[in-house]
Amino acid sequence: MQPAPGREHHGDTLILQNAEIDRLELPRIQDDDELEALKASHALLSIRASESLRFDPRLDPSRRFCRPWTRDFTEDLGQAFYHRFHQQIQVNSAVRTVKVQKKLRRHNRNAAPSDGDTASSHLAGVTVDLQRRGMSKEQIRWMEHYLFYMKALGLVEPEEERHQWVFHIMVSGKYADWRMTQDLVPMEPPDAPLTAVSLSE
């Protein structure tokens, strides 16, 4: 994990995130027309609210979407967190368009750019921001361990955004292939007693 006190993003991790987007040959979504076309083709899927996952009510329903593997990761993480703490994770942000990111930059000098090697990875639909504010120290530590494990496998590029108090998580396209090899979703980080739930449940 790479904390970035006082800034929304750390440049090095953004470069890694954009390299993965380029590897996957994903477009940066320019506007609502492109966003709706990707939804229609099922290249972007709706993140599903559940007993383990909720949304920041300020998040526009039209932007509660992401790439299929990012949705799988987010929902798997939500199940694992709920299994441990019987509380929901909260999605604060998911896909954004370049138009939205430019507007955000005008109001928030810490926001990532809308283009270049350090552009926001939200523009490709591979990233979610999960609420960190309000978590206990134990919950934060659990999240950090879970994300560290996934990063070690090359499946995510996470960052704790101290300015916004969220976990910013870019999910690699490799997560889909890795998930297909797993019979179980890990319910605990590997340094804790391991419990799991079947992916078929």
11-183, what's its fold?
A: Muramoyl-pentapeptide Carboxypeptidase; domain 2 (3.30.1380)
pLDDT tens sequence for the chain (201 residues): 444 333 344 557 778 887 888 788 898 999 999 999 999 999 999 999 999 999 999 999 999 999 999 999 999 999 999 999 999 999 999 999 988 776 666 666 566 645 545 567 899 999 999 999 999 999 999 999 999 999 999 999 998 776 779 999 999 999 999 999 987 666 665 554 444 443 333
Measured CA to CA in angstroms, residue 50 lies from 18, 87, 90, 98, 122 at distances of 30, 11, 11, 29, 22
- Give yes or no for a contact between 100 and 127, defined as CB atoms under 8 angstroms apart: no
Q: What is the CA radius of gyration of the chain?
A: 16
Q: Give the whole-angstrom CA distance, residue 176 versus residue 134.
A: 30
Strand partners, 170: 127, 157
Q: Give pLDDT, residue 193.
A: 43
Q: Give pLDDT, residue 189.
A: 57
Burial of residue 109, with CB atoms counted within 10 A of its CB: 0-12 exposed, 13-18 middle, 19 or more buried? exposed
Alpha-carbon torsion 30, 129, 8, 150, what sign? negative
Q: Give pLDDT, residue 182.
A: 85
Q: Give the whole-angstrom CA distance, residue 80 versus residue 138.
A: 14
**All structural domains of the chain with their residue ranges:** 11-183
Residue tagged 């490799």 (tokens): 174
13-48 per-position pLDDT tens digit? 778 887 888 788 898 999 999 999 999 999 999 999
- Residue 80 makes CB contacts below 8 A (sequence gap 6+) with 146, 185, 186, 187, 188, 197
Q: Are strands 53-55 and 89-93 parallel, antiparallel or unpaired?
A: parallel
Q: Give pLDDT, residue 86.
A: 97
Q: Give pLDDT, residue 119.
A: 60
Q: Give pLDDT, residue 197.
A: 41
Q: Give pLDDT, residue 95.
A: 95
Strand partners, 54: 90
pTM of the model: 0.81
- Give yes or no for a contact between 29 and 123, defined as CB atoms under 8 angstroms apart: yes
Burial of residue 53, with CB atoms counted within 10 A of its CB: 0-12 exposed, 13-18 middle, 19 or more buried? buried
Which tokens go with 51?
Answer: 């007993």
Three-state secondary structure call for residue 178: helix
